[in-house]
Chains A and B, each alone.
Chain A
Amino acid sequence: MRVISADKISKAVSDLCAKANFSLRKDVLECLKAAYKKEANKKAKKFLGAVIANAYVANKERIAICQDTGLPILFLEVGQDVLIKGDLKKAVNKGVDQGYKKYFLRNSIVHDPVDRKEPGFIPALIHIDLVKGSKIKITLLAKGFGCENKSRLKMFNPTVSFSQIKQFVVEAVKDSGADACPPYVVGVGIGGTADYSGYLAKKALLKPVACTKIRKLESDLLKEINRLNIGPMGLGGKFTCLGVNIETAPTHIAGLPVSVNISCHALRSAVIEL
């Protein structure tokens, strides 16, 4: 049995807060640079230049990439041979609280969703998965809410064609228009249950955004979305979307849940393994 202390987990999570919010993911930055090179719309190109400059300023000066430092979502893969000394969930929240305070991020969390008083830094949303082994893998996703507000769920009939699913995803992006900071990264969850497909769509955002080599389903969707001509910041152009990631799961013979979770161009996540 490997022992990992709660303090060690808190420290790791605190570090992730800085990493996710100050340093744009390499895969996302590469896609943005490629888009900048290829974008023909002059205003859109200038904007993409600003997005890339913003990533450099944030990283160099340790200022948050975006003022919406998100609702911190933590994905924990805990090895079943690990003994955690202390309270795991408390340790994670302590790490988020310390990190968000230490790095001057934003207190965007309201405890009571109805009375909405006194925004704070926690609680984070924590997903815990038990896996084989004796390690803990922690991923922090700082999910902005401008794009979270554009999420979609549809319970399709099992006889649906893939083109109908595609249409649903494209419509979700079309309705987001310029509001949620395009160029987007689109996460799609297919299968499972209503709630689980939402979780899959979110998890899809954690996979590398491969703007060159992707699966056919994903590349078909990407092409179709980029025909919408929403473009960076809604200014028109080739790049409404940087990449589409799909996660699938087994489901029931009677249904086909599909969820869409859109990310703004500032897709921020960071990973650590203990």
Chain B
Amino acid sequence: MADYKLTLAHLYGDLMNTYGDYGNIIALRYYAKQIGVEIDDQLVSLNDDFDSKAYDFVLFGGGQDYEETIVANDLAGKKEGLKEYIENDGPLLAVCGGFQLLGHYMEMADGSKVDGIGVMDHYTTNMTDPSVKVAKGTRLTGDIVIKNNETGETYHGFENHQGRTFLGKGEKALGTVVSGRGNNGMDQSEGVIYHNVYGSYFHGPIFTRNGNLAKRVLATALERKYPDVDWQAKLEKVPAETF
């Protein structure tokens, strides 16, 4: 029995789970276990309430276009809970479709527009939008490396998306593109950081390939729940996996 426990909400884990998103939970659990922390992951899906006080971490993964449309409809009912969670500095990892749906809207490849919940200020056009000047009409696919300018940390991943995301007010990029395409192929930004929300297009999955980021986010979640423990010191002793 671990001394400490984090409760994790896997948002639409039964519908938004392509590209190995679940691996992010595996990685968090791997590091948490080594410092005596248990991770309890719970599915929050269609028609479920999202209680902003019930969770210490939220994972919102990517999905296929069809499932994403169904999720977008349901997500409106969770908007207030998620907004409260995010504004209260709740840690959240949003990948691909999850990242897009936290913003204002996203456009599918066929031009249809899906409303996000706008709890963050970014928006996503499709690859044929007139504003797209680079790699217009093609998916952004391939290996990618980015660097976070504040921490100096480098993150590796694989990107594969047609949507082009543009960050908005109060949002910083997760990193600057070193090689690859990033959010939109044009402004060198990849992903987002807003309060304790980390958004990204990275497959890999991001926490498995970037132990430095997994440990950073894990520390954030633990410090928020158990502020009296020196989590940095504990995590420093745990080697970070990277590949």
Co-complex (A, B): no
Q: Could you list which residues of chain A lie within 8 angstroms of chain B, going by C-beta atoms?
A: none
